[in-house]
Amino acid sequence: MPFKSVILHPLAKPLFFILCLSPLLGIILNAIWGDLGANPVETVTHQTGDWTLRLLILTLLITPLRRWTGYSALLRFRRMSGLFVYFYASCHFLIWFLADHSLNVSSMIEDIIKRPYITVGFSAFLLLTPLAMTSNQWSMKKLGRRWKSLHQLVYVIITLGILHYLWLVKADYLEPMIYAMVALMLLLVRVERFKRLWTTSSRSS
């Protein structure tokens, strides 16, 4: 089956939904089987954090992928992927708020103010909120051109997210650096595109 008919298949979106949900299902199953390791809270915190970044990268990959392949249908997956970013970021935040701060708001706020890696991580989460809230047809219509400007916050968010990861590592920077390199490439691809857009628009005006 050619790629195009795969992504246009009526089951493609439900399947993608299940795929995005499978990391959480994996965590839940491991929790039931008592298989989250010696430090389950840390395992869940790390895994939800990892999946937030991975899905953020996937979301940012969809637009350039569409340009390269010419398959506009790929855009069908971008909103769902982006909403799952917010879903995993929320899980990541909630497990930290619950297990590390015992739901104590003032202790959480103190941590956010005092620890730079938490400051940037929490900022990224806050910035994601309006993006998740406006990821629907109604908001797109309502906001018009401003919708795009608002959603360009995602570039700030991924930078903060990776900084959050880099800042908490003790000595082994390999994994966060891999995320950083991939994110950098995804941003550079866009800079090139912006450049081209700018030159065409200035020519036409």
Partner 1 sequence: MIKIKRASDCSESEITPETIYQQRRKFMKASSVWGTGLLLGGWGTYLNASVDVSSYKKSVITLDDKLTDFKDASRYNNFYEFGTGKDDPVKNAQEFNTDNWTVNISGECEKQGDFPLEALLEGVDIEERVYRLRCVEAWSMVIPWLGVPLAEVLKQFSPTSKAKYVAFKTLFDPERMPGQKRSVLDWPYVEGLRIDEAMHPLSLLAVGMYGKTLPNQNGAPIRLVMPWKYGFKSIKSIVSIEFTEKQPPTTWSLSNPREYGFYSNVNPNVDHPRWSQARERRIGEFFKRDTLMFNGYADEVASLYAGMDLTKYI
Choose the stretch contacting partner 1; rule: CB under 8 A; options: 1-9, 21-29, 109-117, 128-136: 109-117
Instruction: State in angstroms the smallest separation of the CB of 115 from partner 1.
Output: 6
Interface residue with partner 1, options 14, 37, 70, 130 (CB under 8 A)? 37
Residue 84: closest CA among 21, 35, 142? 21
Kindly list the distances between the CA atom of residue 201 and the CA atoms of 146, 152, 188, in Å, as whole numbers in the listed order. Answer: 18, 19, 20
Distance of CA 141 to the CA centre of its chain: 23
Name every residue whose Cβ is closer than 8 Å to that of residue 128 and which is 6 or more positions away in sequence: 85, 86, 89, 157
- In whole angstroms, the minimum distance from the beta carbon of 45 to partner 1 comes to 11
Determine if 50 is a binding residue for partner 1 (CB under 8 A).
no
Shortest spacing between CB 3 and partner 1, in angstroms: 36
Sign of CA dihedral 79, 80, 84, 85: negative
Asked if residue 26 binds partner 1 (CB under 8 A), the reply is no
Classified as helix, coil or strand, 202 is: helix
Residues 116 to 175: which contact partner 1 by CB under 8 A? Answer: 116-117, 167-168, 170-172, 174
Binding site for partner 1 (CB under 8 A): 37-39, 41-42, 99-100, 102, 111, 114-117, 167-168, 170-172, 174
